[in-house]
Amino acid sequence: MPNEMSIADAGASPAQPVIRTIAVADLKDVLARGFADFMLKPSHLIFLVVIYPVVVLFLARLTAGYEILPLLFPLIAGFTLIGPAVAIGLYELSRRREDGLDTSWGHAFDVLRSPSIGAIAALSAVLMAIFVAWLGAAMVIYDMTFGSAPQASIAEFARQVFTTTSGWTLIIVGCGVGFLFAVVSFTISVVSFPLLLDRDVGAVTAVQTSIRAVLANPKPMAAWGLVVAGTLLIGALPFFVGLAVVLPVLGHATWHLYRKLVER
């Protein structure tokens, strides 16, 4: 069970949301609550409608040439960067269920009428900028290790990545740089979006609160980051179909993580 207040918040300003400390074991309850929200309001079909057009467009572009092939993994990994903004409608449904309110799908768009919509839009733009910067960095790393020549085939690309020195350099450097992007995005957004939906505190306070929550709970938040990355990877493996369940469950669970981290 979470403690009432972290030592770091003992002298916090009343204007600042109070951060609780939690344990890694609390994440099990967070996931269970997120799954319960998903089962009450299954959204896998909606996510399939969103995911598969993107997949089809990517594959269509791939058949016209393999220039875009090096972006496949960075695009999948990019879900972790923009996920908090994409899932904000799910936060709203979890909030409404928590308060005993109607959870019809139309209420997922109530966020558009939120007093914090300006701050939410601004923070979403920041995450999108981080996502675009990550894709640019990934292409620079690829060009530095393999050059700018297009790949001859998917099989040849996989062979070069996993059986050559350049390929392992790409994997190690790419994962290292991607980790830094993920840490920045995760730290500023994991609490800030649910907080903005819950209270009109402004983007700066929301980001500061998110950072304080991560710093006050380094082990649980690191574990949560691993859970998010791992489940997204597993969900993406069977031709992305698993993401239709993974994404909404993680979205609902993030709301409950926020409830454990931030004092009401």
- Percentage of the chain beyond pLDDT 90 is 47
Output the six-digit token pair for 177.
Answer: 């740089």
- Give dist(CA 230, CA 146) in Å, integer: 27
User: 43 pLDDT band (50/70/90 cuts)?
Assistant: low
What is the largest distance, in Å, between two alpha-carbon atoms of the chain? 61
- Give dist(CA 145, CA 147) in Å, integer: 6
Q: What is the pLDDT of residue 4?
A: 39
Q: What is the pLDDT of residue 75?
A: 78
Helices (H), the chain: 26-40, 44-63, 72-77, 79-86, 88-98, 117-146, 154-163, 165-189, 192-198, 203-216, 218-236, 243-261
- Residue-range domain boundaries for the chain: 30-261
When the pLDDT of each residue in the chain is averaged and rounded to a whole number, the result is 83
Residues 110, 92 contacting (CB under 8 angstroms): yes
Output the six-digit token pair for 176.
Answer: 């290292």
Q: What is the pLDDT of residue 7?
A: 34
Output the six-digit token pair for 34.
Answer: 């997120």
Q: Per DSSP, what are the bridge partners of residue 19?
A: 262
Residue type, 22: I
Range 245-256 average pLDDT: 91
Coil, strand or helix: which one is 262? strand
Flag whether pLDDT at 138 surpasses 70.
yes
- Which tens digit of pLDDT belongs to each residue from 158-214? 888 888 998 899 999 999 999 999 999 999 999 999 999 999 999 999 999 999 999
User: 3 pLDDT band (50/70/90 cuts)?
Assistant: very low
Flag whether pLDDT at 131 surpasses 80.
yes
Range 33-55 average pLDDT: 69
Greater model confidence, 217 or 48: 217
Residues 6+ apart with CB under 8 A from 173: 141, 145
- Give dist(CA 4, CA 17) in Å, integer: 13
Candidates 206, 171, 203; CA nearest to 191 is: 206
Flag whether pLDDT at 25 surpasses 90.
yes
Q: What is the pLDDT of residue 239?
A: 66
Flag whether pLDDT at 113 surpasses 50.
yes
- Which tens digit of pLDDT belongs to each residue from 45-83? 555 445 544 655 555 455 445 566 777 788 777 777 888
Candidates 59, 32, 39, 41; CA nearest to 240 is: 59
